[in-house]
Structure 1
């Protein structure tokens, strides 16, 4: 029986029946095929089975710890990092989801060592900074969604009690790096990144620091414009940034937070509107 057949059977099992399985072997097989290009196996079976096992506490803490240690490792979250338009993105992206799942469970139950949590937080920064394959949906293979899944991991990392306010600048730099990658976000990546901003605000991100950070984004776009002018790369980058800022503007308004930052966003959007449409 292959893994897909086995997981289809497990999907219909009761929780108490799952406890009788050879869980170590099952987890090993799920990790082995975590980035399979079969979207049914990868999304609907492996990922959702991980969710069920972890969220319903059907596996022990030692297995959860092993899943996290494996998923943030060189052969998973950082597997062939830097590649573009290859199938390796699925392994990285779904490793990010597995890591997020365990880290989120630890927020509730605190079973992981501080060292492993700290490593996971740093891995969440490094992964998003290094990921270059920003595809969302891939025809015939399903969701890659690397930036969205990485953003989910980053948000959970920020929300963890082991994340300290001193790490806020590193998290902001990570988010900024995502806005300057070579590609267009069309699958709600900006919205997923905003959840990380929400988490940072809960951790003490000030309106002043947020506003300063927004200005650095505009300044970085200015550097591209000075060199490339109205290039394809400039337009794509500008579009990503404008979409992110517009979403952030309304998110802050919904939460009644960041009044000065919203003013800053308005100025930035107007400036780049004028650059493109009032020349």
Structure 2
């Protein structure tokens, strides 16, 4: 099969045809090639076409084996993808990083379903996601004329895939909580629904019993620290913490889950919410 991987027309045709590739090796090659498009500032090429096709191949190609997923995964977490120009802010390099972490999530989701990867490969990928969560400095959500960067939301989604994976270690689960707090307490105001994605990850972490409740309970009060100055105007971390806790509270309320956990979230929220502080 001949596919023009850098032509929108060719990619449109491939996507409309269902992204079906009979040969697993060829499907893997297509995925690796498409990774290069994830760094494009063209949202249609990057997100609407290349990532959409990547995810579809990774999740739906029936004859992919562990070796194929491993090749895509190890390419996605290397220095030219997940850690490409890590530490830069305000540049287009964020697109490569923030969409590479979604590829990691897709591979882990496929493996979680079909048990194709070995333990070491998965734990290496989880370690890379944990490192990326701490090292990404560009927290932009939507970038004018270039579309979504959304590094915080994408990282939260990837952490969710890590947390529910059978091969995650207890230590890595604890580090995932640290990473989530780091994202929530960002020095940048998160205004593109990142709070909802982060809340969903923590909700699933507790709901699926991936972490002991007492650990999460002890984790919650940290959001009340260093979030306000001399006024009741929240700093960026304070703003983000409020929104995260509100979304988590509502998620628990609407699901009708764990009144005890909801009470812990409410108590923490009272310590960071200006209305509660003034009352």
Short-chain TM bin: 0.7 to 0.9
Choose which of 88, 102, 105 in structure 2 pairs with 1:97: 102
Kindly report which structure 2 residues correspond to 1:211-230, keeping only aligned pairs within 5 A, or say none. Answer: 211-221=217-227, 225=228, 228-230=229-231
Equivalent residue number for residue 44 of structure 2: 40
Instruction: Tell me, yes or no, if structure 1 residue 10 matches structure 2 residue 11.
Output: no
Describe the SS at the equivalent of 1:60. coil
Equivalent residue number for residue 34 of structure 2: 30
Distance 2:267 2:232 in 1: 23
Q: 1:41 to 1:266 in 2, by over 3 A?
A: same
Please identify which structure carries the higher helix content: 1
Equivalent residue number for residue 238 of structure 1: 238
Equivalent residue number for residue 206 of structure 1: 212
Equivalent residue number for residue 108 of structure 1: 113
Instruction: Tell me, yes or no, if structure 1 residue 164 matches structure 2 residue 165.
Output: no
Distance 1:183 1:15 in 2: 38
User: How far 1:277 moved relative to its partner?
Assistant: 6.6
Kindly report which structure 2 residues correspond to 1:113-124, keeping only aligned pairs within 5 A, or say none. Answer: 113-124=118-129
Residues 146-173 of structure 1: CA distance to partner in whole angstroms, max 9, x if unpaired?
1111111100011111123443321111
Q: How many residues align?
A: 272
Check whether the contact 1:72–1:123 (CA below 8 A) recurs between aligned residues: yes
CA RMSD of aligned residues (A): 2.5
Distance 1:183 1:46 in 2: 29
Describe the SS at the equivalent of 1:81. coil
Q: 1:166 to 1:13 in 2, by over 3 A?
A: same
Check whether the contact 1:114–1:162 (CA below 8 A) recurs between aligned residues: yes
Equivalent residue number for residue 56 of structure 1: 60
Distance 2:133 2:90 in 1: 16
Check whether the contact 1:168–1:200 (CA below 8 A) recurs between aligned residues: no
Structure 2: gaps of 5 or more residues: none
Equivalent residue number for residue 83 of structure 2: 78
Q: 1:166 to 1:255 in 2, by over 3 A?
A: farther
Instruction: Tell me, yes or no, if structure 1 residue 254 matches structure 2 residue 254.
Output: yes
Q: 1:130 to 1:229 in 2, by over 3 A?
A: farther
Check whether the contact 2:196–2:244 (CA below 8 A) recurs between aligned residues: yes
Distance 1:25 1:264 in 2: 48
Distance 2:76 2:196 in 1: 24
Distance 1:207 1:26 in 2: 42
Q: 1:102 to 1:211 in 2, by over 3 A?
A: same
Give the structure-1-normalised TM-score: 0.87
Q: Which segment drifts farther, 168-177 or 50-59?
A: 50-59
Describe the SS at the equivalent of 1:70. helix
Equivalent residue number for residue 185 of structure 1: 190
Kindly report which structure 2 residues correspond to 1:254-273, keeping only aligned pairs within 5 A, or say none. Answer: 254-273=254-273
Structure 1: gaps of 5 or more residues: none
Describe the SS at the equivalent of 1:229. coil
